[in-house]
Structure formats: C-alpha cells, structure tokens
Amino acid sequence: MEKRIAVYPGSFDPITYGHVDVIRRSLKIFDKVIVAVLDNENKSPLFTAEERIGMIKNVVKGMPVEVETFSGLLVDYMKKKKTHTVIRGLRAMSDFEHEFQMATVNKFMDDDIETIFVMTDKKYFYLSSRLAKELAKLGGPVSEFVPKPVEDKLKVKFGKK
C-alpha cells in the first residue's frame, strides 16, 4: 500500500513542544511526516536553517519524520516531494485568519493541495516560538515550552550559559 505522507511546513525558530505535539498527532493519521523548514533570511530568524534542522532532528529521533529546508513557494516544494497534504497546527482562534488565508492561496495556486489543521493540546494553546525566545532572552523558565536540546541552544544564544 502506498504510504500516506504529509508535509508540515513552518519557520520552527525554534521547535517547541507545541510543534512536537502536532507532529505526534499527525503521525496517528500519516505514515510519515516531512518537516519542511522555511529557509528565508528575510524573516530574520534567531537560528540558521541548519541550527533549526539540527534541533528538530534531535527532538524527533526515532519517529518516521524527515526534516529538510525549503525556499520559494510551498506548492512548488510539495510538487517536488510528490505530496498533496499540508499539516498546520491550530491554537486559538487568532491563528485562524492567517491560516485560512495561506490554505486558500495554496489551493488557488495548486488545486491538488489539501491543508489539514491539527489542534494542539490545550497545554500549548498560548505557546509560540516567539514566546519561548522572549522568555529565554529575559532569563525566564523555558523548560515547560521547549525540549531540552532547544532550551540549551536558546541559553547559549542569549548568553545565559
């Protein structure tokens, strides 16, 4: 039987427990998840694409997950990977408008693309990479929000270690 594969695109700057939760949930539906890290310096990420990939690989060890970068349009990347399903995590209603816009634009560009929204656990409804970075920068506790390898990298980045 053909494997069910989905692409989970994002900035992952850095990966949080919210993202890990979405990956775990997606693996209940799909045989394999490709985590596609946007390599776009215009977004001025804190971590380079290589650093973000390294952290994700560390965190998803043992799971049927592939991690790689992409640049340009997501729909073009999907064609290259010969997959049709995009996974996006949904937290509060505030995510909806932007997600709805992206899913609609992707569908407009390629009618074969389907976007599936996976709800994150309520524990992570308020969590974002931005929040984790802000806390880490100010020396706040981040262990509840990001896996240990990410926490260590954040501390190094902000000179807290």
Q: Active site includes 4? A: no
Backbone torsion region of residue 145, taken as left when φ is above 0, otherwise alpha when ψ lies between -120 and 50, otherwise beta:
alpha
Q: Active site includes 98? A: no
**Nearer of residues 83 and 106 to ligand PNS, judged by Cβ:** 106
Closest to 12 (Cα-Cα) out of 136, 132, 144: 132
- List residues binding ligand PNS (CB under 6 A): 9-11, 38, 73-74, 102, 105-106
Residue nearest to ligand PNS (CB): 10
Pairing outcome for strands 65-70 and 85-90: unpaired
Q: Active site includes 128? A: no
N- to C-terminal Cα separation, the chain: 49
**Nearer of residues 78 and 136 to ligand PNS, judged by Cβ:** 78
Q: Active site includes 19? A: yes
Q: Which residues are catalytic?
A: 19, 43, 91, 129
